Amino acid sequence: MSDEFTFFYWPGILGRGEFVRLVLEGAGVQYRDIGREEGMAAVVEGAGIGGTRTANAPFAPPYLRHGDTVVFQTANICAYLGLRLDLAPETEKDRHFALGVALTVEDFVREIHDTHHPIAVSKYYEDQKPEAMLRAEDFRSNRMPTFLQYFETLIETNPSQSEWLVGEELTYCDLSLFQVVEGLRYAFPNALLGLVGDIERTTELVERVRNHERIAAYLESDRRLPFNQDGIFRHYPELDI
């Protein structure tokens, strides 16, 4: 199998692809980012979107090619990379739990996205703004604290007392939680600020990830795109407190 990792995601946004990039960057490996190198058409063509689907084709980006292996769905890609790049727990028991945590992060991300697109992805935010206001209110009051408290509890009760989510060392789960919290700081700064006192361990974990040598270098590079109004995390002041 080739050692080259070839990554496919839409250019111009962080989106779900950024969770995968953080694993690749955190491991310090070389990879190709086809969307940024060749544009959106290459990403679409690689997945067969709108055309003839080939055997073992991904449903949608992000997806990863490693030799003749194609891996898609964000948590699945991160788990695949984590196992190969020393960013997954050591034991099989913890690896299964880590995947469950990563899938829970994906659930959280979906709910964040749905605050500004509660009816249909195909409709503009302005076409569903009243519904978005209602959805965001419930998200701020109920769903956001519920998810964040769950991650806080995982850190607190980690048997290794490592102050990470799973196991004794940094894993892809911690990188994913970092990205979610950063996204919330952009999209819901006021709501998140109101919860800071309840998620002290999570906040500390995020800062440890930020100060990780490779992640810090990535965040300062031009490879790290800023959050914007086209991605999952969007800042509409009327949806924040």
CB distance 50 to 44 below 8 Å: yes
- With beta carbons less than 8 A apart as the criterion, state whether 14 and 227 touch: yes
**Among 22, 21, 23, which Cα is nearest to 8's?**
21
**Residue whose entry in the numeric block shows the structure tokens 């031009």:** 222
Strand bridging mode 5-8 / 69-72: unpaired
pLDDT for 49 equals 73
Nearest to 234 by CA among 220, 226, 206: 226
Can you give the pLDDT at residue 1?
46
**69: β partners:** 66
Structure confidence at residue 57 (pLDDT): 84
- Looking at residue 51, what is its pLDDT? 66
| pLDDT score, position 52 | 63
> What pLDDT, on the 0 to 100 scale, is given for residue 46?
78
DSSP strand pairing (63-66 vs 31-33): unpaired
Helix (H) or strand (E) holding 64, with range, is strand 63-66
One digit per residue, the tens of pLDDT, for the chain of length 241 reads 457 899 999 999 999 999 999 999 999 999 999 999 999 999 988 777 766 666 778 899 999 999 989 999 999 999 999 999 999 999 999 999 999 999 999 999 999 999 999 999 999 999 999 999 999 999 999 999 999 999 999 999 999 999 999 999 999 999 999 999 999 999 999 999 999 999 999 999 999 999 999 999 999 999 999 999 999 999 999 999 8
Structure tokens at 211: 């100060």
Q: What is the dihedral of CA 14, 17, 22, 24, to 10 degrees?
A: -140
Q: For the chain, list the domains and their CATH numbers.
A: 5-84 (3.40.30.10), 92-211 (1.20.1050.10)
